[in-house]
Amino acid sequence: MREARSILRDLTPPLLHAAYRNARYGAATRRFGLRGDYDSWARAVAASTGYHAAGILDQTLEATIAVRDGRAAYESDSITFGDPSYRWDTLAALLWVAARDKGRLEVLDFGGSLGTTYWRHLDFLQRIPNLGWSVVEQAAHVRAGRQHLQTDTLRFYETMEDSAARAAPNVLLLGGVLQYLESPYAVIRTAAELGVPTIVMDRTHIWDGPRDVLTVQRVRPEHYDASYPSWIFSSARLVSELQDAGFPVLPEFAPVRPGNGDVDYAEGGLIAEWVERSQ
């Protein structure tokens, strides 16, 4: 019966999923989350406010400085939290890379905001003998990071190539970012071109359907007022794209939680190790 339901779900257009979820969960749930099934990035952008909405960067910077200065345990989506909480799957993957490479961890943190993952896990990371952390972000984030947060260990760049020129990364971290890129699979191909041996993904939108679905994500206003395009990846296609780029996928993280959207998706993660480097 479960297999039959899975086949039926794959054959059902996403907007019919939306009608079902709308009828079941009501208008309050429909207002936020991942909505729609857009046929182009331009149309999804037109239906969004974007990351450049006023105040998001300022709020994130203020929250990150609070974490750096010990006034908060960690920051997520510009919100501070008082008690420690760790992304154990991601942390374990990074520590595995450091152990494999004899105490060296050089992270290329693509779309890493102002170092969210770095600051959140610094109690563990700072014990790694040879640690470097490079955040690749939008220009405004890079300027803010360099002015207020940059250290000998944590640095900020606008491109993967500039980051890799500083020190050869041994892991590309994609922590909840791949779905927000117009051409997400280009990042994977660039990692292969740069010779990055490992990719770690976390908080990635995935579903069991046959194709990637382009939506608009509407953020709850208690976080900040914004919306932006977001992919929900077909898990089969995502794994295929990684394999085609030379990154066989190791066992996947268990999905963290179901998502709120017009299709039944979850947030999950994985580790992929470039076959030419792992032999």
Which one has a higher pLDDT value, 226 or 171?
A: 171
Q: What is the pLDDT of residues 19-30, one digit of tens each?
A: 444 444 444 445
Per-residue pLDDT at 2:
37
279 pLDDT higher than 70: no
pLDDT in tens, 61-92: 999 999 999 999 999 988 999 999 999 999 99
The proportion of the chain whose per-residue pLDDT surpasses 70, expressed as a percent, equals 83
In this prediction the pTM is 0.86
Residue 243 lies in domain: 2-278
Residue 16 to residue 263: CA distance in whole angstroms: 9
Per-residue model confidence as pLDDT tens digits over 229-276: 999 999 999 999 999 999 999 877 766 667 888 888 999 899 999 876
Domain count within the chain:
1
CA distance 124 to 118: 10
Mean pLDDT across 143-169: 97
Average pLDDT, the chain: 87
155: CATH? 3.40.50.150
